[in-house]
Amino acid sequence: MRFSPLLLLLGIEFAILSSGAHDLAAEEKVAEKAGWYMGRQIARTMSYHGADWLIRNSREREEEPQRLLDALHLKPGQQVGDYGCGNGFYAIRLAHLVGPKGKVFAVDIQQEMLDLLDARCKARGIGNVQPVLATEKDSRLQAHKLDWLLMVDVYHELSYPGEVLGEIRKSLNPHGRVALVEFREEDPTVPIKPLHKMSQAQALKELTANGFKLVGQFDGMPWQHVLFFARDDSPRPSVQLAAWNAAESEPE
């Protein structure tokens, strides 16, 4: 799919520091939601018009996704969800890691994002990514299936976080985990608009209020927090949050 330069610019605007115009469809969506959840303002949904920003050349250098993937210790054959997958920056990497016997359920509310993802999978001969068209409240995922569910830069823009967390909780198997990845609100050096960042404390508050417990964390990303959650009835032991510390978290 080709985007006009204007649309592309409008889509990219969503997260980087500048404010201002966004594409009209996305603005209408914002007007509908413009909500708050547990003291946090919900961000606008990123339009598919900005999808190229998700696969920009600089993303590897800025986010170092391999650090996150290594921290998941994925195994061939596992069933993994990529919630709010966009055009598949992570879904494609996950597909390689779980291999042909594993599966990636790539969930998004924008069919256009799923179409872009599908085209990128086909171009690479990847056959183990299943696109799943969700609604804002219904994940359309099967129950008790997933070993991992990854959410990268998505949670802060869910219109109905409580409902979606309920769906995600159901989709995990008893040992399944959620990797919640959000830009660090505590860190002024992260060049992302405040509405698109989240603090560890806020994430913990919202997840624990919705039937999850913290079971791990990874502080080795350049810009993002990574918190691992399991269902609160999972046999996995819970852990205490270690507050983010700039000095200790510098990637090497």
Ligand X SMILES: C[S@@+](CC[C@H](N)C(=O)[O-])C[C@H]1O[C@@H](n2cnc3c(N)ncnc32)[C@H](O)[C@@H]1O
In the complex, minimum distance from the CB of residue 90 to ligand X, in angstroms, rounded to a whole number: 6
Residues 193-222 touching ligand X, rule: CB under 6 A, are none
Q: Which stretch binds ligand X (CB under 6 A): 25-33, 147-155, 182-190, 233-241?
A: 147-155
Q: Establish if 110 lies at the interface with ligand X (CB under 6 A).
A: yes
- Return the ∠ at Cα 77 (arms to 74 and 80), rounded to 5°: 60
Q: Is 248 exposed, middle or buried (0-12, 13-18, 19+ CB in 10 A)?
A: exposed
Inter-residue contact 234 to 215 (CB < 8 Å): yes
Find the binder of ligand X among 11, 90, 206, 215 (CB under 6 A).
90
Find the binder of ligand X among 72, 98, 106, 134 (CB under 6 A).
134
Find the binder of ligand X among 13, 23, 153, 206 (CB under 6 A).
153
Q: Which stretch binds ligand X (CB under 6 A): 105-113, 171-179, 213-221, 225-233?
A: 105-113
Inter-residue contact 197 to 203 (CB < 8 Å): no
Q: Establish if 115 lies at the interface with ligand X (CB under 6 A).
A: no
Q: Where are the alpha helices (DSSP H) in the chain?
A: 5-12, 24-33, 51-54, 59-63, 65-72, 89-98, 111-124, 161-171, 200-208, 246-249
Inter-residue contact 173 to 145 (CB < 8 Å): yes
Q: Establish if 154 lies at the interface with ligand X (CB under 6 A).
A: yes
Binding site for ligand X (CB under 6 A): 45-46, 54, 83-86, 89-90, 107-110, 113, 134, 136, 152-154, 157-158, 164
